[in-house]
Chains A and B, each alone.
Chain A
């Protein structure tokens, strides 16, 4: 349809020789069909991941339930230390080890990571060196975790003679996590509109007052979410801790300067041994680990939803 204006300035519509049949979609059937096919393939691909994950989780839960059915006691499991007798064996030391590892990993990685991100985004001049550093941070975030374990073993455990203590383990995890925290924090800082910075500077704030008063608070939900997700990765790591040297069968609650183990290494040990009962213990351990991970993801999700805003 076209619109014409006649001499009086009023509007009048006419088909003006326009072929309205061309709007019926004849000839588009094939295009629509391939479109639906693509849609189905993409949907299938996205569902596949979820299905595999669901199968794994169901399998673990079934094993854990079987463990309970054959008389493994969940209270014993959560309150006792490792024992060679599977009915007496518990996960307590491993849980405490993981929580402490997580705490120190957070301490070592958060301030370093956020500080680096703030420097790179808010202060660093846009030079070749800066861009080189940024590119390498992204690469570091992809380095296999066992490498960080070897690094911690060489530098901290042996080099600085820390020995295979919990702090050395958390240093290994912090090395692993720092690049991830930096990259996530950079993303969060970049999402703060420049209008905020300009508004602050134009009000007579210094650069640091602007960062502290406006930019960081606005970026904090993103930074916190990113950090939690990075820590969730850390708590699921096994290899770097094995490199540093964990206790095979943790019979005590480790402190920061003690030899240590973690949930993952304990699960690894149980799953490795031939007795099926121990495999059920491993499944119960995985269930606990998954519950904690789920909790962390939940917190990250809540932070993101509660504080996410549009400008």
Chain B
């Protein structure tokens, strides 16, 4: 596949991919994925096929390996010394842990938004342009910045203050700024690790609304501990349970209305009930 070759060098060319709709094409696939931190196992034999341009929610109790799974996809686990990964995790069919994959190139295809908003102590403009600059996409920076801010539903609120610091924004605005930063270089996949858990309900609702729009252009994988949120915004839901086991993965409606696995039903009704 054409996309896989470009993972190998850091020089990612700027092409606005023609995104024709191929329903349920798998973008990210895990096959027997296991993760250990030292001796402790965080993920156990995970198999999952994540479809293109859908919102896939990952839910489960805390400590069940949701963040760990997400960090496998863009190899942010490389930052953790004790982390060891076995099995396959492929992006467009290419195992991202192959020796010839450059994690920097991979991350240029896969953006990430973190639990705690982490804007840089720079102007709003420089925050959004950061990915463009480091990736060498220096043409039309202003237009791309605007486009990204519009995509993150933040443009109208910050239009006149692009030169003020990103740190002066409210928490919810900061998180949308981080979304803008992630989508500005036009990745294919957007990983979101509990992006609303540090926000108040109004700010969280804004981001939930935004996610449906984002899924038209990006494959969104969102970790949430909030099951109502998963039910509201996702097309597919993966339920991880303690021990780092992926217990069930299906259409969100099926998971919430008629799950196969008794443990999933217990987990969901336990929380809702």
Chain A residues with a Cβ under 8 A of chain B: 125-126, 193, 195-206, 209, 213-214, 217-218, 309, 311
Contact = CB atoms under 8 A, between A and B. Distances in A.
6 contacts: A195-B118, A200-B130, A201-B79, A214-B130, A217-B121, A218-B120
A-B pairs, top 9 by smallest CB distance, nearest first, are A195-B118, A204-B108, A202-B112, A203-B131, A205-B134, A199-B118, A204-B107, A209-B134, A204-B135
Given A203-B112, A204-B104, A204-B135, 10 more contacts: A195-B116, A196-B120, A197-B79, A199-B181, A202-B114, A204-B134, A206-B134, A213-B130, A311-B121, A311-B167
Nearest to A218: B121
Nearest to B184: A203
B74 interface: yes
Interface in B62-84: 74, 76, 79, 81
Interface string B106-135: 011001101010111110000000110111
Nearest to A125: B81
Interface of B: 10, 12, 74, 76, 79, 81, 104-105, 107-108, 111-112, 114, 116, 118-122, 130-131, 133-135, 167, 178, 181-182, 185
A171 B249 CA distance: 66
Contacts of A126: 81
Contact of A202 (B107, B121, B133): B107
Given A213-B130, A309-B167, A203 B181 contact: yes
Given A126-B81, A198-B76, A203 B121 contact: no
B185 A199 contact: no
Contact of B185 (A198, A201, A203, A213): A203
Contacts of A218: 120-121
Contacts of B182: 202-203
A84 B12 CA distance: 72
A214 B130 CA distance: 10
Given A198-B79, A213-B134, A311-B167, A203 B111 contact: yes
Nearest to A195: B118
Contacts of B108: 204
B167 A199 contact: no
A204 B121 contact: no
A200 B120 CA distance: 9
A214 B135 CA distance: 15
A44 to B, nearest CB: 41
A98 to B, nearest CB: 35
A197 B112 CA distance: 13
A126 B130 CA distance: 29
B120 A204 contact: no
Contacts of B121: 217-218, 309, 311
A204 B134 CA distance: 7
A311 B166 CA distance: 10
A33 B181 CA distance: 57
A209 to B, nearest CB: 5
Contacts of B181: 199, 203
Nearest to A202: B112
B51 to A, nearest CB: 22
B146 to A, nearest CB: 18
Contacts of B119: 199
A88 B185 CA distance: 69
A155 to B, nearest CB: 38
Contacts of B167: 309, 311
Contacts of B120: 196, 199-200, 214, 218
Nearest to B105: A204
Contacts of B79: 197-198, 201
